[in-house]
Structure 1
């Protein structure tokens, strides 16, 4: 029997249960994947709490890596025995094995193991579209990055240096500041002690930055807007502190700003675009230009503790579940 984490009602981490499940044979366009590692993402908590609705009972998790054990009719881009990774719906990655659509699967190149892949596919592709698709950044630009010591943040810090960008990163502790700086963050702001917008203005000679990458949401949106230069872009790509209220008039007050709330799914919906971003990401990782920090590992049956740590802000870098 296979095992999976499921929840029958929304709520706190305690609603998660490890259950035995039956995994059959894949149908047309489907595969059976045996997981070797599973990505743990803050967005998983949104499904568990009901912020992102899902029919109940439900599985959890949208990112994993492992081995293709069987393929259904019509599947041609992966074969039995392939090492693969994926990110995206449907829910159910928190499992030892699963049946899933074949389309999201990305074949892993040599040199990238499944644990690294599970820790970086969503985070890495997010960093890829934020830096390569959202805004025409140029060498010498300065950006503000919230949660610079998180899984996405550490990848962005490293990738930004490859692009010749200066990164100002916000963090909660000096330990996280040190970690961010070790991965290429040029300036760190301890947001619990310092005024973020004021420090950004100091570091940019009063001009502000052209781009803010904000995964926090409600608690940071005001400071993010105040940190932007005239006609700057605020990218709200996460809502760790809740959905930010946006007053359109404030965009004018702060200098005719732009704002977007992107979703990774819309930047990898087309296979060619997804594969292009993945190839660039995997190339940097395989060559050692970007290091993936797996700082927390949890057993699958310890998902409750993993979610508690995630929500309490006790994690850095990437976290994975091991089946």
Structure 2
């Protein structure tokens, strides 16, 4: 049996992605072999491919996936067995038909959640939970800005914030995206040109408590301008480009807290990962969290998926289908 996967051997645009055939990895030690159903696309995949985040080359793309356990390593945790439906985070490799993964960042998918929804929700759902519980722990009554609110993280963020009694000021680039943000929990949706004024109007001139910003270069200065004294700026992405400097005069004059979190930095143990995935399953099953999936491409169409993602014309989550026989698992 073969293992088709997507890798790149040099940095560059989507054209560097190669759909190639390799052998199925051998299982040993404390690893699980997973036959992938879906791989999730995330902006970090673009950052790795472009060289913004350097990685060892050649590199198999993909930070999250879902599928069926086919083999369990001899020293692996006994909580997994062949046939288990699972979802996982990994440093690389989910753009593949088969992937070796660590049990530490792997969770069983509960009944009532498909492998498609599991792959679409894991990385972005855990990102949101750590943003609102760790990066800036929100409180009921807070006012916050959510940039790129119609994206995969943004839509989940709007929903979870509303459920916690937070007033959400959402930004998005088109009327259609702003409407989607409102449908998913935002109280106000505005353009990137309007959000500073809107924030001041809604807070009697005080400014917002926090700004959650995945856009980066184009929004960070205005985001800090929209904060109140003692507010928190949370930057967790660079879709418009990397932030080259911080305006310390603005930071110091308003006593602003600047946080640059990474999901893998928070998930530093199996216990923490299991705790957050349990919270995510509860959000989906009990609180009816909507996981919006924009489109699913075949694994061989990864280049097209990356181009679409980078166009910033999508909403919700983008997926790759890795094995057709697991489409409905």
Q: What TM-score, normalized by structure 2, do the two folds share?
A: 0.94
1:248 positional shift: 2.2
Most deviating of 266-275 and 140-149: 266-275
Verify: 1:305 aligned to 2:304, yes or no: yes
Equivalent residues of 1:2, 1:21 under 8 A apart: yes
SS at structure 2 position matched to 1:140: coil
Q: Return the alpha-carbon distance in structure 1 between the equivalents of residues 132 and 20 of structure 2.
A: 39
Aligned to 1:248: 248
Aligned to 2:126: 125
Most deviating of 207-216 and 197-206: 197-206
Runs of 4+ in 1 over 6 A off after TM superposition: none
Q: Return the alpha-carbon distance in structure 2 between the equivalents of residues 59 and 114 of structure 1.
A: 21
Aligned to 2:165: 164
Equivalent residues of 1:214, 1:221 under 8 A apart: yes
Q: Return the alpha-carbon distance in structure 1 between the equivalents of residues 28 and 267 of structure 2.
A: 24
SS at structure 2 position matched to 1:10: coil
Q: Return the alpha-carbon distance in structure 2 between the equivalents of residues 190 and 235 of structure 1.
A: 19
1:135 positional shift: 2.5
Matches within 5 A, 1:267-282: 267-282=266-281
Equivalent residues of 1:23, 1:99 under 8 A apart: no
Cα RMSD after superposing both structures: 1.1
Equivalent residues of 1:119, 1:292 under 8 A apart: yes
Which residues of structure 2 form unaligned runs of 5+? 323-329
SS at structure 1 position matched to 2:135: coil
Equivalent residues of 1:139, 1:165 under 8 A apart: yes
Matches within 5 A, 1:75-224: 75-76=76-77, 77-89=79-91, 91-191=92-192, 194-224=193-223
1:130 positional shift: 0.8
Figure out how many residues of one structure are paired with residues of the other and give that number: 319
Which residues of structure 1 form unaligned runs of 5+? none
Q: Return the alpha-carbon distance in structure 1 between the equivalents of residues 232 and 69 of structure 2.
A: 41
Q: Return the alpha-carbon distance in structure 2 between the equivalents of residues 293 and 252 of structure 1.
A: 39
Equivalent residues of 1:230, 1:257 under 8 A apart: yes
SS at structure 2 position matched to 1:6: strand
Equivalent residues of 2:88, 2:101 under 8 A apart: no
SS at structure 1 position matched to 2:210: strand
Q: What TM-score, normalized by structure 1, do the two folds share?
A: 0.96
